[in-house]
Amino acid sequence: MAAATNKNCQILNILSDIFLRQTMALKTYWTFVIILITTGRSFADDDNHEMEEFLKREHSLSKPYQGVGSSSSSHWELMGDAMVTTEQVRLTTDMQSKQGAVWSRIPCHLRDWELQVHFKIHGQGKKNLNGDGLAIWYTKERMKKGPVFGNQDLFTGLGVFVDTYPNEEKHLERIFPFVLAMVGNGSISYDHERDGRPTELGGCNAMVRNLNHDTFIFIRYVRRRLTIMIDIDGQHEWRDCLDIPGVRLPQGYYFGASAVTGDLSDNHDVISLKLYQLTVLRSETEEKEEEDEITLPSVDNMDLLKMGENEEGWSSIAMFFTILFSMLGCFLLIVVGLIVYSHWNENRRKRFY
């Protein structure tokens, strides 16, 4: 009896020891989890704080849009049919023949910057029965009406376009809406009939109409490199659109946004434009390369970029004809082979008989 009691006590001690170890392990685990959560929050707070430090409020547009107005003290100015509501700056309503814009009054003298644009395009029109699109600008000129998404043609600076209507029907490989970028020097015209193809730096398709979630465009200019990304899937993830080195943009230009409708229409809304100053470390070599002041916008190796596009287009055509002639050649070889085999078989029969 005493031996059984001792054995039971040993079992209870072992179970108690296991329980205590598991309890300690759980405590250690949850302590580690709490430390991670706390650290993550502190890092997030630091990141947000750092972002706030670099946010340039005088160049940014956001709710409740107190800096928008016609007075000289306001930072942003409306043009055309644009209007301010509690939820957005509406550049155009879903009506025909409207154009509107919002422009910063303060020139930007930042060397490296990042612009995050929160926008919305929506309307009653079905696919390809809507138009025309929205543009984001960094240009020397401001408050100029014109045919390029509500802004003047022959502009000087950068234009990023969200083109929602295809004017050149024969290019079926491009899916609209389409985001593209162009750098103008005051003498380059935007080809509206060809959807800006002759002068574009590149772009990507972006299905941004009538979505129930937020849509964003990200424009970064660092070390004379232009990068554009989009977040349009509601996943809070940036997707690459274009990345072009050798883009030379002068300082002292103005940010703006414009939109236009024609026979087809849409609501074109800007919810916010947030500009961030970026602090970038440069080597002595980079500093020397960039010490010359840029006076006119330009893109290095623009001819090579266009040549690459032409080669890509010709390669598709060449591939089509190569496949076509290869199939015809194979068919011809089969026919010739059948004829030769037929003659050989006939001669063989004659010899046999």
Q: Identify the CA nearest to 150 among candidates 218, 201, 103, 88.
A: 103
Give the Cβ contact number of residue 93 at 10 Å. Answer: 18
Please check whether residue 26 lies inside any domain of the structure: no
Please check whether residue 313 lies inside any domain of the structure: no
Sheet holding 215-222, edge to edge: 83-84, 89-92, 267-277, 113-122, 215-222, 225-231, 239-245
242-285 pLDDT per residue, tens: 999 999 999 999 999 999 999 999 999 999 999 999 998 888 88
Expressed as residue numbers, the domain containing 287 is 53-305
Please check whether residue 60 lies inside any domain of the structure: yes
Could you give the CA distance from residue 249 to residue 298 in angstroms, rounded to a whole number?
7
Q: What CA–CA distances, in Å, run from 52 to 40, 56, 71? A: 18, 8, 27
Nearby residues of 6 by Cβ (< 8 Å), 6 or more positions away: none
Could you give the CA distance from residue 90 to residue 203 in angstroms, rounded to a whole number?
25
Burial class (CB in 10 A: 0-12, 13-18, 19+), 207: middle
pTM over 0.85: no
48-101 pLDDT per residue, tens: 333 334 899 999 999 999 889 878 789 999 999 999 999 999 999 999 999 999
What is the structure's pLDDT at 321? 57
Please check whether residue 94 lies inside any domain of the structure: yes
Please check whether residue 312 lies inside any domain of the structure: no
Q: What single string gives the DSSP state of each residue in 103-134?
A: EESS-B--SSEEEEEEEEEE-S--TTSS--EE
Task: Name the percent of the chain in helix, strand, coil, to the closest 5.
Answer: 35, 30, 35
Residue 7 above 60 pLDDT? Answer: no
Please check whether residue 92 lies inside any domain of the structure: yes
Q: Does residue 19 or residue 65 have the better pLDDT?
A: 65
Could you give the CA distance from residue 295 to residue 278 in angstroms, rounded to a whole number?
21
Taking the CA atoms of residue 200, residue 201, residue 204 and residue 206 in that order, the dihedral angle to the nearest 10 degrees is -60
- Name the domain count of the chain: 1
Longest dimension (CA), the chain: 113
Give the Cβ contact number of residue 242 at 10 Å. Answer: 17
Mean pLDDT, the chain, whole residue set = 82
CA angle, 54 then 60 then 64, to 5°: 120
Q: What CA–CA distances, in Å, run from 237 to 142, 215, 218, 230, 231? A: 32, 11, 11, 8, 6
Please check whether residue 209 lies inside any domain of the structure: yes
Which residues face 255 on adjacent strands?
138
Q: What is the DSSP letter of 189?
A: P
Give the Cβ contact number of residue 88 at 10 Å. Answer: 19
Q: What is the DSSP letter of 149?
A: T
Residue with the two structure tokens 């302590």: 31
189-231 pLDDT per residue, tens: 999 999 999 999 999 999 999 999 999 999 999 999 999 999 9
Please check whether residue 142 lies inside any domain of the structure: yes
CA 279 to chain centre: 22
Q: Which amino acid is at 299?
A: V
Could you give the CA distance from residue 221 to residue 315 in angstroms, rounded to a whole number?
32
336-347 pLDDT per residue, tens: 777 766 766 666
Query: CATH number for the domain including 75?
Result: 2.60.120.200
